[in-house]
Structure 1
Amino acid sequence: MTEISVIGGGSWATALVKILTDNQTNVSWYLRRQEQVDAINTAGRNPDYLDFVKLDTRYLEASTDLPFILQKSAVILFVVPSAHFPALCDLIDAEWLREKYIVTSIKGTVGDGNNLPSAYIANRFSVEESRQAILAGPCHAEEIGMGKKTYMTICSSNEGLLQRLSPCFANRYVHVNLAKDMCGIEYAAIFKNVVGLVCGMAKGLNYGDNFMAVLTSNAIHELEMLLSSLHVPERRIGSSSYLGDLLVTAYSAHSRNRTFGELIGRGYSVDHTQTIMSMVAEGYAATKGLFQTAKELGLNLPIVNTAYRVLYNHMPVAAEFKLLERNII
């Protein structure tokens, strides 16, 4: 039986732990706060995220001891916000990851170099691609918590690792697709959060479904341009891990990025929005990383530009959308 160490204590980490323990996969779980650890170990509930979910404690051990958790399992699953990942890595000795398999579900660029999470891990800890995998959507933690039918993609260049991980996640409510295009799916997972923000802004500004359809179709075109410029091979834009993930983030009420954007569209400041939201909207940090990447590639991505100008240049959101109207078709 595969044992997995999970690093991260938010709603997505909680949903993944639910899947794993439902599948009777042993989980060692690192969380920063002792109160969370105590509640999980005694009652099987994360008091801060998805507290309606009852976890099977027979297959679960939570701890605030990071070295202990990292050394417990051969497979390490990182599920933390991209902005917090470098600080977490500062606490990790590369020796702890030697000969481990590393799985990430981090949906934002990492560090000043705007690296993909897999590339950041490879450079930081000398973990070759064959020992890495990523988890991708389209998934919302809340629906997994409710046991609603979900399609998930596990991606790796290592066929043996894919076959090892698949039974850990596939069950009656989770269908697992396997893929090998790690770079493309990672970029798609990052890009869709920026699109979710902009769709939320549109909703906050009272744009309707007609405009939203144009916005999302242009977003698909921008994603294709980005991946082409990055020379990403083997991508299937129409698949669930690309198009499906983008659509669920753009349209779902569960999308924290859409909620973040909607508050901005209603006139809330970025600082106020960050304060009142209890969960991290990955699209905020992802916007900066993707804008810089597009700039370096010489790409004009109007949707990404709009998000950046509103969030980082503090331009008026309504005026930026009038400009966006002229730059999409």
Structure 2
Amino acid sequence: MSKNPKIAVFGGGSWATAIVKMLCENLEQVGWYMRNQNAVDYIKENEHNPNYLSSAEFNVDQLFLSSDINEMVRYADILIFAIPSAFVKVELDKITEELSSKIVFSAIKGIIPETGLIVGEHFNKMHNVPLENIGVITGPCHAEEVAMERLSYLTIASKDEEIAKVMSKYLSSNYIKTKISDDIIGTEYAAMLKNIYAMAAGMAHGLGYGDNFQAVLMSNSIREMKRFIKKVHKMKRNINNSAYLGDLLVTGYSVFSRNRMFGNMIGKGYTVKSAMMEMSMIAEGYYASKSAYLLNEKNNINTPIIDAVYQILYLNKNPKTVFKNLTNLID
């Protein structure tokens, strides 16, 4: 890796916008790929994203913007992907440039639906990116609070400690604190699973359950997460660290959590289709719940909360009935 690597962010949503903002605190130039050329043109003229985190202003002289994904891959040494998991494969299929020599970071909190793989595994198996060149950027951190420059925390995971340290340095600022980890598989699974549990928390709220039940639900969620991650990738980790428990709590409780919001709408009686139409952002937990359920069919883990969310979202089971049954399965 070069001493001053070029870094590019891929994605046009709120989390991609927040990461670009963080990088701009430390780099003279940041690459930013957005598939929508109109959004690129708007940012160049108005210095903020028209659709997400519009309060975050940019010095456009710092940005190398493009709607050509291959141009951005050629430009950068380190690629940070912050595209919703449901659309990752469509975007990656556009790439004709070689990815195997690049360092790739996933800031995506989900599983690739077409392959059933977490993002790091997808890059490794489908694009020949070595595992030591893959990293994960995870929370607890909401994009909206980054835009407001509220103190936030990130975990940067990579098998290569030096790569993790480099990314940590470029994302750190007076309002962003970072720590590094070598658990790229576990942190990425945790980032995916916490969205499912946040949906469950939202459903419970929409159904009228109170804070007492929410506390029990979150307590059971972290234990369920621990069982799941231990089964799919066994290594020594402290599930109470910020990358796991912290990220789960902020996603389960925050007013900024789109997954909690989506679940709340389902609990109040919205259909999946109507809830999706109401929200302008992707709720990753919807796709993650199916992927996690299918993975669990192979691994046979005790996951009553994941099962409950899947039954409601994909089997059209009545949320009230499902949660009444769930109250007898958790303690």
Name the TM-score class by shorter chain. Answer: over 0.9
Does residue 77 in structure 1 map to residue 65 in structure 2? no
What is the Cα deviation at residue 159 of structure 1?
1.5
CA deviation string 1:244-293 (max 9, x = no partner): 00000000010000000000000000000011100000000000000111
Alignment of 1:189-200 (within 5 A): 189-200=191-202
Superposed displacement of residue 10, structure 1:
0.2
**C-alpha separation in 1, matches of 2:292 and 2:113:** 12
Aligned residue for 1:153? 155
The one-letter code of the counterpart of 2:195 is: N
Distance in 2, Cα, partners of 1:224 & 1:73 = 35
Kindly indicate whether the alpha-carbon contact (under 8 Å) linking 2:89 and 2:114 is maintained by their aligned counterparts in 1.
no
**SS of residue in 2 equivalent to 1:327:** coil
TM-score normalised over the length of structure 1: 0.97
**CA apart distance, 1:299:** 1.6
Percent of pairs with identical residues? 38
The number of aligned residues is: 328
Match of 2:93 among 69, 72, 90: 90
Aligned to 1:304: 306
Q: Which residue of 1 aligns with 2:132?
A: 130
2:168 aligned counterpart, secondary structure: helix
1:54 is aligned to 2:29 = no
Q: Distance in 2 between matches of 1:299 and 1:237?
A: 17
Please name the residue that 2:165 is paired with: 163
Deviations, residues 26-61 of structure 1 (Å, cap 9, x unaligned): 211111112210121222200000111101222112
Cα-to-partner distance string for 1:74-124 (whole Å, 9 max, x where unaligned): 11111111111111111112x432411111111111134311100001111
Structure 2 match to 1:213? 215
C-alpha separation between the residues in 1 aligned to 2:197 and 2:17? 25
Which amino acid letter does the alignment assign opposite residue 103 of structure 2?
A: Y
2:113, 2:287 within 8 Å by CA — same for their partners in 1? no
Query: SS in structure 1 opposite 2:155?
Result: strand
TM-score by length of 2: 0.97
Determine the C-alpha separation between the residues in 1 that align with 2:295 and 2:234: 14
Q: Is the 8 A contact 1:183 1:232 kept in 2?
A: no
- Secondary structure class of the residue paired with 1:227: helix
Corresponding position of 1:66: 69
Q: SS state of the match for residue 96, structure 1? A: coil
Are 1:2 and 1:168, in contact at CA under 8 Å, matched by a contact in 2? no
Displacement of 1:25 in angstroms is: 4.6
The amino acid that maps onto 2:62 is Y
Aligned partners of 1:154 and 1:50: how far apart in 2?
A: 23
Structure 1 unaligned blocks of 5 or more: none
Separation (CA, whole Å) in 1 of partners of 2:59 and 2:168: 20
Root-mean-square deviation (Å): 1.1
The whole-number CA distance in structure 1 between the counterparts of 2:199 and 2:155 is 23
Q: Which residue of 2 aligns with 1:44?
A: 47
Partner of 1:10: 13
Moved over 6 A (4+): none
Tell me the equivalent position of 1:177: 179
Verify the 8 A CA contact 1:25 1:168 in the aligned structure 2. no
Residue 100 of structure 2 contacts residue 130 of structure 2 at CA under 8 Å; is this kept in 1?
no
Q: Which amino acid aligns with 1:210?
A: N
Offset, 1:294 = 1.2
Residue 22 of structure 1 aligns with an amino acid whose one-letter code is E
The answer (yes or no) to whether the contact 2:222–2:245 under 8 Å persists in 1 is: yes
